[in-house]
Amino acid sequence: MSSNTPSFPEQIELTGEGLVLRDWAEADLAAMPELFDHPDIAYWTPIVSPFDEGAARARLDRDRQLRAEGTAILLAITVDGGAPLGEVMLRRAPEGTELGYAVGPAHRGKGLAARAVRLMAAYAFEQLGAEQVILELEAENAASVAVATKAGFSLLEVPLIEGQEKGRPYALETWGLDRP
């Protein structure tokens, strides 16, 4: 990001929606493979696969680098500040303030992703001054479309984002949520 991009705080903890979104910690490294080494996550996200201890270390290091650059923050989704159940991401991108998420397979079906996205969107609006936050997802990813809908996002009439990741083509729709 440019030198005029405000940096993110060194530590972030967001509470609301029955969740605590907190910084990833060294102690979380052992839990990360259980959350992210799953076929759904490998297929629908850019998270590396297989996701092992080395991938966890690389992700934590990259998280810290992106935050220091003012580019992105990745927070662990928890219910009480303890064990991570997934992750929510905020990224400053040319196309806007983008959010992303992944919830571990054992923790799905509890509304964690939609609640985490709403909480992170509130942070983007209130603390970063964002006018809109976006989600970029594949129409065929029914679970992510459900999250977008439950979190109050609407499908935007913008061109698809097409590309290739992990050897397969993708076409991402852009969903948006405007500042309240």
Q: For residue range 123-173, list pLDDT tens digits in order.
A: 999 999 999 999 999 999 999 999 999 999 999 999 999 999 888 999 999
Rounded-to-integer distance, Cα 100 and Cα 74, Å: 9
Res 95: pLDDT: 81
Q: Extract the tokens encoding 137.
A: 């997802």
Closest CA to 8 of 69, 93, 83: 69
pLDDT tens digit string along 47-97?
Answer: 999 999 999 999 999 999 999 999 999 999 999 999 999 999 999 988 889
Q: Helical H runs in the chain? A: 32-36, 39-44, 53-69, 112-128, 142-150
Please give the structure tokens belonging to residue 88: 């929510």
For 2-20, letters b (16+ CB in 10 Å) and e give eeeeeebeeebebeebebb
Q: Which of 3-7, 100-104, 153-157 has the lowest mean pLDDT?
A: 3-7
Residue 105 half-sphere exposure toward CB, CA atoms < 13 A: 9
Indicate the pTM of the whole model.
Answer: 0.93
Question: Which of 165, 105, 171 has its CA nearest to residue 140?
Answer: 171
pLDDT, position 167: 87
- DSSP-assigned beta bridge partners for residue 76: 22, 87
